[in-house]
Amino acid sequence: MNLININSEFDKLNDVILHNPGPEIERMTPENIEKALYSDILSLDIANKEYSFFKSVLSKVSNTYEINNLLKDILEDSVIKNNLVSVILDFEKINIKKEFLLEKNAFDLAKILIEGLEDTNYNNILYDRYIIKPLYNFYFTRDASISINNSVLIGNMANFIRQREAIIMDFIFKNHNLFKAKTYNSIFDNNFADANIEGGDILIADKNILLIGNGLRTSKKGIDFIINSLKNDTEKRHFIIQELPHSPESFIHLDMVFTLLDKDRCMIYEPVILNKGFDVTHIITENGKVIKTFKEDNLITTLNNLGFNLDVVFCGGKNNNWSQQREQWHSGSNFFAFAPSKIIGYARNLNTIDDLNKNGFEVITAIDFINNKKHPNDYKRAVITIESSELVRGGGGARCMTMPVNRG
């Protein structure tokens, strides 16, 4: 069985992979947050309360799968268990006997591989306290793997601390009975091992149109790997590359400045997307070959020329540079569509939510939806808002926290 079927950013969501923030979040200290890719320490209790609303919303509109459970399932197979442990120990050069991990049951081993393993002989609260480092960022399930059509592109993370996420997802997609999917993985490809790819930079506009961000987390060599992997078919494919700023850190991915809400609507951070200072390159492939490469004005006109008819919603509101900057910092462009024009995002971005409302989106709080007081299906367009005082401090939004595997 291969459950993978993703041909757009906005078709009806059927199945999605999530990861509830766990004890790994509380294993950050002021001394290791920079290496953990955070700028502040999160409260797990508050983050979990906020996340519970997020997950409850998605559970009402789709099937949700937790990475912990998927990982546990494949670790029940002794051969897969041995292979995964061997790969991780070798790749991360972890100084621990393999047998110690192999004797753990599937549930306990899954916890160790995600939450980390503490060195009981270490007395200081420093980064090296953990023999196996915690995966602090795994609740941003978007980055380590990307469903594209009926296969999965595995991320090659820009920061070593996140590479185990990608290795785990590769094993899940290849081996879990839900998937048994074909994967494209550059991590162990000698020609592309240093080619960075993260899922926040990849948007599937339709079956044959991919938008790719080129910035801090996805390199030009990573984009070469994506094109080389996906061009080998008889159909014409369009790869549209958006150059991104390298600072500040809120611009780490394309979906922090641009998301598709429907075939006729998108959310943008205007100072980047409509700024001619950031190049847009259009690459067309056919029959496994690149047939054309040229510059475009911006993503909007490019997509419109390919059959979209996009109205623009502005992160932070139109013509308000001050609130645009503030709300982009708090993932104001990072919305997730669970059906055409039915989206979810952070309530805190008031000017962004107001601009959505002006564009015909009914505003529904997560609690009202969960308690059946309002339903997005009763409206042509709707945005479900979730509270995010803690989740947002991780540096990502609703799209970052989802890995869709089936739409349509």
Q: Let me know if residue 2 belongs to a domain.
A: no
- Of the listed ranges 39-48, 179-188, 260-269, the one predicted with least confidence: 39-48
pLDDT-derived band at 123, boundaries 50, 70, 90: low
At 151 the three-state DSSP class reads strand
Look at residue 122 in the predicted model and tell me its pLDDT. 64
Strands 63-66 and 403-407: unpaired
- For the domain that residue 221 is a member of, what is the CATH number? 3.75.10.10
Look at residue 124 in the predicted model and tell me its pLDDT. 59
Q: Let me know if residue 184 belongs to a domain.
A: yes
Tokens 């080129």 locate to: 214
Q: Which residue has the higher pLDDT, 74 or 119?
A: 74
Q: Let me know if residue 32 belongs to a domain.
A: yes
Q: Let me know if residue 5 belongs to a domain.
A: no
Between helix 163-175 and helix 78-92 the angle, nearest 10°, is: 160
Predicted confidence (pLDDT) per residue in 279-337, tens digit? 999 999 999 999 999 999 999 999 999 999 999 999 999 999 999 999 999 999 999 99
Give the domain range for residue 179. Answer: 13-407
Q: Let me know if residue 266 belongs to a domain.
A: yes
Q: Let me know if residue 3 belongs to a domain.
A: no
Tokens 């594209």 locate to: 148
> Mean pLDDT, to the nearest integer, of 29-40?
76
What does the mean pLDDT of the chain come to? 95
Q: Let me know if residue 4 belongs to a domain.
A: no
Q: Residue 406 pairs with which residues in a beta bridge?
A: 5, 15
Phi first, then psi: give them for residue 364, nearest 5 degrees.
Answer: -125, 125
- Of the listed ranges 119-123, 294-298, 326-330, 339-343, the one predicted with least confidence: 119-123
Look at residue 247 in the predicted model and tell me its pLDDT. 87
Q: How far apart are CA 2 and CA 230, in angstroms?
A: 18
Q: Let me know if residue 308 belongs to a domain.
A: yes
Per residue in 164-202, is it b (16+ CB within 10 Å) or e — as a string? bbbbbbbbbbbbbebbebebbbbbeeeebeebbbbbbbb
Predicted confidence (pLDDT) per residue in 128-183, tens digit? 689 999 999 999 999 999 999 999 999 999 999 999 999 999 999 999 999 999 99
Look at residue 128 in the predicted model and tell me its pLDDT. 67
Q: How many domains does the chain have?
A: 1
